[in-house]
Amino acid sequence: MGVRTVAGEAVEPEGADPRTEAELRAAWATAGELAAELHALVGERPSTVWTTGNAVRVSVRLRKPHGTRLAMSVLAVLARADRYGHRKGQGREQLWLEIGGVPTGGHEW
């Protein structure tokens, strides 16, 4: 599907990502760097996926008890993302961050 025009203005197809290939690669690279830092800090391998909002999401499960020093280090990594959060429930605890895209309603887990 190509770009269409409305009243002489170019309009992207609905759902098209307006970012360039270079911007998409940069978002993926940034997410990879942050994922590597989280892996080093918490000792668990993060997952990295594209969301329906065209963001790159990194999530990592927390299994070990964590203290203030680790929490501060993890927060420093999360602060470099566009969005981040924490989920806890049913004996599981997980951190997530997103680079680029738009937030999606209710996270796709």
By the 8 A CB rule, do 1 and 69 touch?
no
Q: Mean pLDDT, to the nearest integer, of 77-106?
A: 88
CATH code for the domain of 36: 3.30.565.10
Residue 26 three-state SS: helix
pLDDT band at 63 (very low <50, low <70, confident <90, very high): confident
Domains of the chain: total: 1
Q: Does residue 15 sit within a domain?
A: no
pLDDT digits (tens, 9 = 90+) for 36-56: 999 999 999 999 999 888 889
- Domain assignment of residue 8, yes or no: no
The residue with greater pLDDT, 51 or 14, is 51
The rounded radius of gyration (Å) of the Cα atoms in the chain is: 17
Question: Which domain range does residue 37 map to?
Answer: 22-99
Structural domain contains residue 53 = yes
The span from the CA of 71 to the CA of 90, in Å, is 21
Does some domain include residue 58? Answer: yes
Whether the predicted pLDDT of 103 surpasses 50: yes
Does residue 104 lie within any of the structural domains?
A: no
In-domain check, residue 61? yes
Write down the mean pLDDT value for the chain.
82
Q: What is the pTM of this model?
A: 0.76
